[in-house]
Structure 1
Amino acid sequence: MPTSSAAATFAETPPPLDLERGASLRAFNTFGLPCVATTLVRVHSEGDLKRVVNDPELGRAPKFVLGGGSNLVLTRDVDRCVLKVEIRGRKVLETREDAVIVEVGAGESWHDTVQWCLDHDLPGLENMALIPGTVGAAPVQNIGAYGVELKDRFDSLDAVDLITGRTVTLTAEQCHFGYRDSVFKQHLANKSVITRVRLRLPRPWVPVLGYLELERKIAETGNTHPTARQIFDWICEVRRAKLPDPAVIGNAGSFFKNPVVTAEQCRDIIGRDPEIVHYPLDDGSFKLAAGWMIDACGWKGKSIGRAGVYERQALVLVNRGGASGAEVVTLARAIQESVYGRFGIRLEPEPVVL
């Protein structure tokens, strides 16, 4: 019979890493593109990451951090150690006079987290309903929709440094958030792994209703003071009407960023195309609707090989069945050339192309 000290030692022995060699990533990217990773490690805790860093083989191997795979175009096999983040958990961390702080594991679904917050009477994320991907990927991309970005609801995050294995906490300022950008897409790309994100939900709640689709819903329903749940429902209806479900047809959501131009550039484009959809920004610049420009160039519903432009929303590229990453990239480049030729605007892809 083991001694108590031996039993304690046995109990403290961590389970083996959840590791697979030659792993297919087709099911782990929402485009459904074929790809094999040399090594795949499913990360369930910060401890798993520290063990990867300290492992003689894995620690030296180049890394690729994978969340929900909803912002990714795989064009080749991945000769790296792929870290698939699956850290779970949600809780109210702190209730302040001006905000509630909610802490969420990086592996949780973003949309499910929006729903969880509403179910717990914690509004503030409803405008970002149905954005695909995980909570850990949200700061990387600084996700946003219908007038709200992640940075507007962000408090701080924890991440593990893949060189030292140390856990660091970053504030919004340290994350260097930009339009669909952050420090994690720049010099910290694949050098650290986000493990937990803390969201700041303002009190009192103030609805954000400045987008055209929401204004239409208000006009249709006559509801000029919608609740957060009503806004959530409206946005889900709008997104489902124009965006394909990745479980049905492979895609990565909006493929191109909406370009931001100066007021002078905007006036010039409006002079040539008066119907272009555009939104003023606080700094005097304007955001142009990339989907409108792609549609105006005649791409909606068109295909190159087995990759196509979605029939209901020109901003979304889809896998029509068996597409390769190379076909998706070829289609994207053709669209970029068309838009540049007509509008003088170079569209920038949102997904990471690997």
Structure 2
Amino acid sequence: MEAIRGQLVFFLENNVSAFIKSWRQKAFISESDIHKEEVNKNGLKMYELVKGMLENSLSDDDFRELAYKVAFERAEANINIGDFVYNVNSGRSEIIKWVISSGLPIEKLHPLIDDISAIFDQFSYYVVKKYTEIKEEQLQEKILYIDQTHKERLTILGQMSSSFVHEFRNPLTAVLGFAKLIKSEYPDIKYMDIIEHELNQLNSRITQFLHVSKKELMNGERESHSLYELFNELLEFLYPSIVDGDVTIVSNMKSDIRVYANKDELRQVFLNIILNSIDALQQVRYKRKINIDCHAVDGKVEIMISNNGPVIPKERMDLIFEPFFTTKELGTGIGLYICKKIIEKHDGEINCISDHHVTTFFIKLPLLIPEETA
């Protein structure tokens, strides 16, 4: 067998130019390929690696070095990796054809042909694997760049909107003040309740936008609050919306669970999630239900607000806590974003899972109360 190997190496050495020319005629090389001049060189190096295998002098380092070189060139040229695989298979076919035409006994050549084919398979594997790694790294870099650009645009948008609403709030505050004075001095004037209510709604919207821009946060003092009492007050306030939405709410709250928090901020979080749940349940024809559960685990209070409404698709699930993302016709897309910021401000976490049976918002908050408030 050693003699056959030597004769085959001698044959290949004497026909290298003809092989490269024949393979080059079949290979697919794009004119836009910035490394097209390297293709012939790589084909020649592969030819040398086959000879090295036949001489039992093939180096694994040399083999990987060529594979990684080709992978980087294919990625940099931005050429379809399928073209590379086609060219490798063409090279395999050509060299096997030349081996068979060497005139050596075919039965002696079969194991060598198998070895040659295995080299090409392994070479393709290394190149495609490294090419995939390079492309994945490039993709992650692009995603990072897009995310950074997106954040920068949001920052600019937040700065613009905050400047606008700050300018808008000054006259609004004055109007609210004078409306209260008019109502106090002339309590019988018609429609003053409606005017005051709408002004307060507008002021609430402005506060939400200021939350998003981070220019203004509710900075009220944190105190010890009973979640049981907070939810009871909230559900009493929401009673008209619950009845109007034909929703059943089941609350399993323990009266002894307390948190150290800003009550108004937590109220805004729970109010937003429950109202969103009521809204989502309008797509369900019967047995509309919201479950509120709460329990303490390892120094944390876990609150779960679930509804049996429609599933939130995965592509939307990744975006629901992003600012300005909304599926509602008249939505602002800042409600859940504000909820997330408030919970994180309280050193907590908020997440959501959804399937075709139930959608649940999970909220974790610190359970322990600081010593000075105990």
- TM interval, shorter chain, is under 0.3
TM-score, length of structure 2 as denominator length: 0.21
Q: Which has the larger radius of gyration?
A: 2
- With the length of structure 1 as denominator, give the TM-score of the two structures: 0.22
More strand by share: 1
Identify, as 1 or 2, the structure richer in helix: 2
Greater RCO between the two (CA within 8 Å, min separation 6)? Answer: 1
